[in-house]
């Protein structure tokens, strides 16, 4: 168990059954008065923020979270299945939990899955992923309209802006942190 | 401001504090830091040591014994230790200025505060104002506003302070409503006349034994100093210490030993007043920085 004295930014605790990350913390204590521990916490499942004030003597259950490297297998409806290549254990995550990460999930991609007990609550992706362009309009040579980008769809179904010279079937690198085109894979 | 410059300013300000008290006839004293007993308080925890003795949480017990021994005006700048106090305005080991005046009450200390801060600020900046962490100009010239605690709770939070204490909401209301309201003042503010429950070592007002002659100095919403007319009744003082220990037991905390030699001498102490001012916070104010980490050479985490 953690006591209030253990509270600090980055601590992970369980509140009402959910894992929370302490994102802001301050200790306040008026002269001769009782100490107050003011925290702002983020629910690690749904991302909602919460303000809570604690007093001396209160305690918290640590949220034991584990990160494991897993491989993305397949999608069925809104359910995405991942597998630990060592133990062959499989976990399923909802599309909503994955958020934008679903845009980059290609079969066999290795990701870090965050587990809260048995439950997968999120994934972290490599900063860059390589995906094939499946659909984009041909760039007309001599186009002087001044557009320096055009929409393109990649094999996961994700649509992003790419430079005009990118053609269908080409491999491009996407930065998963902002979802933007990064570079073209030559050859 | 860079740390190297903050530490230079700190040295200059502490020198100014010393000059101020020396020039007004106060004697600079040093009392032991490791002592058999602090004044037991409900919400102040000494850091445990290997022996049964404790590091001081404040030099008040020894300094009041000096008043009993005949000293009239004394000051001390020393380190104090309080367990588990760490935040943007708290360090477990911090520097405290305390001064005591025999034959006087808390009104004299309020005047001292005005003159001391004016002297320190004008020594450091050649002008009687400086900017706090929000780049707000604080002007230190007299007179400073003095507000009774009861009035402050009514005016800023529309509640009775006694209700807040009974419901255990005093600290919450004070820190979330009253202190931010005091931060709006562009000059220091004195909050005075505390309910007796909130003043373990202070004398009550002659006309009202529910109100203690205690005040706190706030600058830019930061609590800077706590002073009071000293209680010199040994029986009442012992009762309050024992009451504090009872509350500690209820809160699941250890009972603290009583400073017996101090209680034995207290009857001989003249009517006095004494005050503690946080030096680190004073430096935060004049350096205009946000956290106490920025005004010390090293924090505990950096060691």
Residue B25 has pLDDT above 70, yes or no: yes
Range with the poorest average pLDDT among A49-53, A96-100, B5-9, B121-125: A96-100
Range with the poorest average pLDDT among A75-84, A142-151, B50-59: A142-151
Residues 6+ apart with CB under 8 A from A152: A133, A135, A136, A159, A160, A161, A162, A166, A172
Query: Is-contact B104 B275, C-beta < 8 A?
Result: no
pTM: predicted TM-score of the whole model, two decimal places: 0.81
Helix B279-287 and helix B106-125, axial crossing angle in degrees, nearest 10? 40
How close does chain A come to B126, measured CA to CA in Å? 31
Structural domain tally of chain B? 1
Residues 6+ apart with CB under 8 A from B31: B56, B59, B62, B63, B66, B76, B78
Whole-number pLDDT of residue A146: 64
Residues of A in Cβ contact (< 8 Å) with B171: 28-30, 33-36
Cβ separation of A30 and B174 shorter than 8 Å? yes
Count of alpha carbons within 13 angstroms of residue B116, beta-carbon side: 28
What mean pLDDT do residues B10-31 have?
A: 98
Tokens of B171: 């600290």
Structure-token match 């009517």, residue found: B271
Cβ separation of A53 and B88 shorter than 8 Å? no
Pairing of β B27-28 and β B73-81: parallel
Whole-number pLDDT of residue B64: 97
Report the residue of chain A nearest B199, measured CA to CA: A32
Query: Which among A5, A28, A55, A58 is the top mutation candidate for probing chain B, defined by the most B β-carbons within 10 Å of its own β-carbon?
Result: A28
Q: What are phi and psi of A184, to 5 degrees?
A: -100, 140
CATH number of the domain enclosing B291: 3.30.930.10
* Structural domain for B277, as ranges: 3-302
What mean pLDDT do residues B15-40 have?
A: 98
B53 — pLDDT class (breaks 50, 70, 90): very high
DSSP-assigned letter for residue A4 = G
pLDDT one-digit tens code per residue, B249-285? 998 899 999 999 999 999 999 999 999 999 999 999 9
Would an 8 Å CB–CB cutoff place A40 in contact with chain B?
no
Whole-number pLDDT of residue A47: 83
What mean pLDDT do residues A182-187 have?
A: 84
Query: Distance between CA B224 and CA B96 in Å, rounded?
Result: 10
ipTM: 0.81
Whole-number pLDDT of residue B128: 74
Whole-number pLDDT of residue A142: 65
Q: Which of B89, B200, B251 sits opposite A56 (nearest CB)?
A: B251
Whole-number pLDDT of residue A144: 62
Query: Distance between CA A174 and CA A181 in Å, rounded?
Result: 5
The kind and range of the H/E element at B16 are helix B3-23
Contacts 24+ apart (CB under 8 A), B148-153: B148/B191, B148/B192, B148/B193, B149/B191, B149/B192, B149/B193, B149/B194, B149/B195, B149/B198, B150/B193, B150/B195, B152/B178, B152/B181, B152/B182, B152/B191, B153/B178
What mean pLDDT do residues B51-58 have?
A: 96
Whole-number pLDDT of residue A65: 87
């Amino acid at each position: 168990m953690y006591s209030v004295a253990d509270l600090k930014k980055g601590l992970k605790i369980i509140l009402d059954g959910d894992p929370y990350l302490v994102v802001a913390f301050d200790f306040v204590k008026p002269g001769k008065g009782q100490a107050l521990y003011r925290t702002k916490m983020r629910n690690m499942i749904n991302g909602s923020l919460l303000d809570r004030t604690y007093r001396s003597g209160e305690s918290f259950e640590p949220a034991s979270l584990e990160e494991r490297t897993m491989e993305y297998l397949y999608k069925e409806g809104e359910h995405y299945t991942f597998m630990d290549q060592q133990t062959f254990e499989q976990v399923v995550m909802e599309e909503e939990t994955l958020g934008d990460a679903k845009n980059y999930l290609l079969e066999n991609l290795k990701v870090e899955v965050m587990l809260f007990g048995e439950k997968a609550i999120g994934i972290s992706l490599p900063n860059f992923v390589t995906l094939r362009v499946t659909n984009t309009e041909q760039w007309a040579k001599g186009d002087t309209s001044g557009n320096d980008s055009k929409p393109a769809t990649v094999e996961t179904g994700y649509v992003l802006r790419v430079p005009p010279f990118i053609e269908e079937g080409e491999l491009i690198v996407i930065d998963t942190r902002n979802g933007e085109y990064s570079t073209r894979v030559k050859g | 401001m860079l740390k190297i410059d903050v530490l230079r300013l700190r040295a200059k300000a502490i020198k100014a504090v010393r000059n101020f008290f020396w020039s007004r006839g106060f004697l600079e004293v040093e009392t032991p830091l490791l002592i058999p007993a602090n004044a037991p308080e409900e919400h102040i925890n000494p850091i445990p040591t290997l022996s049964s003795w404790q590091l001081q949480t404040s030099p008040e017990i020894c300094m009041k014994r000096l008043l009993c021994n005949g000293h009239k005006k004394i000051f001390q700048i020393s380190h104090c230790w309080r367990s588990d106090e760490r935040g943007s305005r708290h360090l477990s080991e911090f520097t405290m200025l305390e001064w005591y005046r025999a034959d006087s009450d808390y009104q004299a200390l309020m005047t001292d505060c005005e003159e001391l801060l004016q002297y320190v600020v004008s020594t450091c900046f050649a002008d009687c104002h400086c900017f706090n962490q929000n780049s707000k100009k604080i002007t230190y010239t007299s007179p400073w506003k003095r507000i009774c605690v009861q009035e402050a709770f009514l005016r800023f939070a529309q509640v009775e302070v006694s209700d807040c204490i009974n419901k255990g909401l005093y600290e919450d209301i004070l820190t979330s409503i009253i202190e931010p309201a005091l931060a709006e003042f562009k000059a220091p503010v004195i909050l005075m006349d505390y309910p007796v429950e909130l003043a373990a070592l202070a004398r009550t007002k002659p006309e009202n034994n529910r109100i203690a002659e205690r005040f706190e100095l706030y600058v830019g919403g930061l609590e800077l100093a706590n002073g009071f007319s000293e209680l010199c009744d040994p029986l009442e003082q012992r009762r309050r210490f024992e009451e504090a220990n009872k509350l500690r037991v209820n809160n699941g905390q250890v009972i603290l030993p009583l400073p017996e030699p101090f209680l034995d001498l207290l009857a001989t102490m003249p009517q006095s007043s004494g005050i503690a001012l946080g030096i680190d916070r004073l430096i935060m104010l004049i350096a205009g920085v946000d956290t106490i980490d920025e005004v010390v050479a090293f924090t505990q985490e950096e060691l």
